[in-house]
Structure 1
Amino acid sequence: MNKVILEHYPASKLPDELREGIALNASVTVTVEEEAKRPLGRKQLLELMRNAQANAPGTSLEEAVARVRALRDEWED
């Protein structure tokens, strides 16, 4: 997460909604911190997994057999 701290920042430069109750000639410390992302829920994770499986490039039976034979042949030499 990113965090920015500005010390001795002029209150007069703050937006009105943040400056409420603070004197215009005051000096303030402004801290801006990014909120943590909420973890994905169960439904979202399942949907992502289904999409990944549906769009994943598959291996045909012939390709799988060829790979196994190639590996087996390496060990026979």
Structure 2
Amino acid sequence: MNRIVREHYPVEKLPEDLREGLPAGRKVTVTLEEEGVDEEGLSERLAAILANPRPMTIDQARALAGNRSTSTEEAVTRIRSLRDEWDQ
């Protein structure tokens, strides 16, 4: 889940509709969370997979994990950059 937290954020910097009812000069904590992410369901599916491991194809594993919105190319690039940082 994508989550952004800003503590001690000045009320004056908030958009007008969020400032409504808050006294000026105060600080607030702002938390933003992405909607529509079923992290609990994902955790349950992963726990079930780990509890009953069995051989499966990559396509079967992807189907169980669900859409991760990362392309194969992005994943390969991330892995290579992590691997290559140890070579420097």
Relative contact order (C-alpha < 8 Å, sep 6+): which is higher?
1
Of the two, which has the highest radius of gyration?
1
TM-score, normalising length: structure 1: 0.46
TM-score, normalising length: structure 2: 0.40
